[in-house]
Structure 1
Amino acid sequence: MGKSCDIKKMFAPFAPETHKAMDRYTSFRVGGPADILVLPQTMEQVIALAKTAQKAGVPVTILGGGTNVLISDKGVRGLVMVLTRLRQGIEQTAPHMNTGGDSSDQICLTALAGERLGNICRHAADSGLAGLAWAAGIPGTIGGAVMMNAGAFGSDMSQIVMEIEVLDLTTLETTVLPGNRLPFSYRKLALENSIVLKVRLGLAKADPGTVRDEFYRNLKTKQSTQPVSQASAGCYFKNPPGFKPAGFLIEQAGIKNARCNGAMVSDLHANFIVNHGNACASDILNLAVQIRKSVYEKFGITLKEEVKTIGD
């Protein structure tokens, strides 16, 4: 009890909430309590929180928009930082020489990790900047999009990230990393034990009307083919390499509309599990097991989760 009180005192300057349910911080709308929850607004606060956590000996969990995660019903131990308030607008500049930019037609967009990806997409579309229209309708933050290497319509973040600034949670040092040296892979950036603080994207000048048309065309496609108005975490499974997309396999396995209490396979896109009512994390996990089993029995393919499960 004494140690717990001491830890709470250490985080007191950051106005933490304790034992806070995490359902409001994820797009699935499920999740048990975080021991300590803080929503930092500046990079300096993130760094100070990381230093305090290291001194207190508590683990650190980072959330962006909570759009590609499932938090367990038992919650998350230690410190949870939700970075949705870590933003200060979108800066538009010419590329720096050290990022490899050498084209007069190239423009950099810079934002802190908590800036909404949708805001950056619309800024690019309104400014006639090509290279990001594929992300129309993808929820979450730019930091989360980089960490997940978000993608759609044949493109992904790895193609446009010029550099990122990160905090190493072990050394507590910040570093600027060039995009062409980042270990991106399908729906992943292998950057362990680090927090993305700032992102710089490289986009190309283009005809504003053409960029806007592509943006709204992609947005309309996403809205008509995915359950964007329902509580979900986006595509639950990765598309298996060399096979049909996961959604096709799930549908052909005959379990579209399958349910586990309040969790349901979407009738619009079979690779979406939606919180159709009062689902809990265990309902979603149990339904995911059923989906994997059905696809394996039908096709001999083991689906791998794209959604990251966090917590006990």
Structure 2
Amino acid sequence: MSGQLVAVLAVITVALVFDYTNGFHDAANAIATSVSTRALTPRVGLTMAALGNFIGAHLGGHVAKTVGSGIIDPPTGLNGLGIVFSGVVGAIAWNLITWYFGLPSSSSHSLFGGLVGASLCAVWFGVNAEVLWSGIVEKVVVPMVASPLVGFVLGALLMIAIMWAFRNGPPRSQGFRRAQTVSAAAMAVGHGMQDAAKTMGIIVLALYTGGYHASKTDIPEWVFLACSTVLALGTYSGGWRIIRTLGRKVIDLDPAQGFAAETVAAGVLFTTSQMGLPISTTHSITSAIMGVGATKRLSAVRWQVAGNILIAWVLTFPAAAMIAILTYTVAHFAF
């Protein structure tokens, strides 16, 4: 077996490990609100989320193409594979750190930060790699800023509409618990469309860089199947620490509020996926929860917890980049 093939297999392996950590790290995105309002039991919620992730993964080709060709341009061969390997390791490490502390950070931005950090480090070592800054600004930075704002505003507006519709009496909790089954399922599909696609893009980039695939944007069917299966398994394992943070620590949600937050977040994910914009599912659902909660009263949102989450969001890109830099500093001797 050639050294280059071994390197390609190593990158695919760490990409699938990232996919798995993405699943249990972001399981909260789909089911935290439904579990906290008792619309779903935890195990039923995770089963539904895993199935939704599996289905959604087969619909996320636009995002995969952006990740595979719009973030970095590594050289072909071992040097390029070393960059991708180190970037993914940086993302995995930050996922595990934030999971340990129960912070719902963005797996997507940890991946992008890792890839950028590894690429910049490679350039310092004399490797002909390039960071596609225009693509990062257009398809990462702008959506990163805009999606939480959109989620917050739309969450508040939808909740205000629900409150107005039921102004003569409180909404029936049982009816909204049933509705949450649908909104949570939509969130799970949207998460699959976004997050499985990012791993697909990494695997295709590794195959192209290693000389085993002719295109950065054409995704083989086995890549769809592998990424959707691993993401679903990771989701089913459940990231309970983050589920508790989103479901209980940010705000105490009732079924109507949970339905509003999930519906808005799912809508944002579906729209951006079709546009090929790799946004954070974590940012979308967290901001929607805050927007919904703010309609009750501003003090209903536990802003100290929200502040800790915001700090994790800000740190994600540079922290993953730094871990990737350290990884590449060591790994480039092997690649």
TM range (shorter): under 0.3
Q: Which has the higher helix share?
A: 2
Q: Which has the higher strand share?
A: 1
TM-score by length of 2: 0.25
TM-score by length of 1: 0.26
Q: Structure with the greater relative contact order (CA < 8 A, sep ≥ 6): 1 or 2?
A: 2
